[in-house]
Amino acid sequence: MSASITMNLPSDIRYVRIASNTARSVAELFSGENGGEEGKYEEFRNAFELAVTEAFSNSVRHGNSPDKGRQIFITFSPENEGLTASVADTNPAFNPEIPPPDIFSYPESGYGLLMIRQLMDEIRYSRKDGNNTLTMHKKLKNPHNQ
């Protein structure tokens, strides 16, 4: 996988599985080309799939614009011995540093960013020209050399 892949999806939760399945396919392609025989990089693939799923779902959930044509832009890039995904939208700005929910209060939501932070090696948030971009990077580590 030598080039970036970009996709635009409608800001609609019905499309979450397209984002999720594409993220998994990209992670499988990337790890497969880097020596990942069956099962070796399963944790990398699971983490990448789930983090992108959470970022997409957050973008849909926090979009309160009446514009039905709103889209979410996802880019996958191989870099720095790993994979980067960026998820961009035109929603209002948000604080990516919100504290994790108190599990003993039985919260039904608020786990998304916590999960992304736990799953990925690096996340960055930027706000520019009315766009939010959440950039997430996961290194492909050999699970036998950790």
* Site of interaction with another protein (CB under 8 A): 13-14, 16-17, 20, 42-43, 46-47, 49-50, 53-54, 57, 60-61, 100, 103-104, 106-112, 114-115, 118-119
- Asked if 72 and 7 count as a contact pair (C-beta separation under 8 A), the reply is no
CB nearer to another protein: pick between 6 and 118 = 118
- Least Å from the CB of residue 48 to another protein: 12
- Least Å from the CB of residue 102 to another protein: 10
Amino acid present at 41: Y
CB nearer to another protein: pick between 1 and 16 = 16
CA distance linking residue 45 with residue 58, whole number of Å = 20
- Least Å from the CB of residue 64 to another protein: 16
CB nearer to another protein: pick between 37 and 102 = 102
- Asked if 122 and 139 count as a contact pair (C-beta separation under 8 A), the reply is no
- Least Å from the CB of residue 20 to another protein: 7
Pairing, β 82-89 against β 122-128: unpaired
Backbone angles phi, psi at 5, to 5 degrees: -120, 135
CB nearer to another protein: pick between 5 and 24 = 24
CB nearer to another protein: pick between 36 and 112 = 112
Helix (H) or strand (E) segment spanning residue 23: helix 16-33
Residue listed under structure tokens 């070796």: 40
- Least Å from the CB of residue 26 to another protein: 16
- Asked if 98 and 11 count as a contact pair (C-beta separation under 8 A), the reply is no
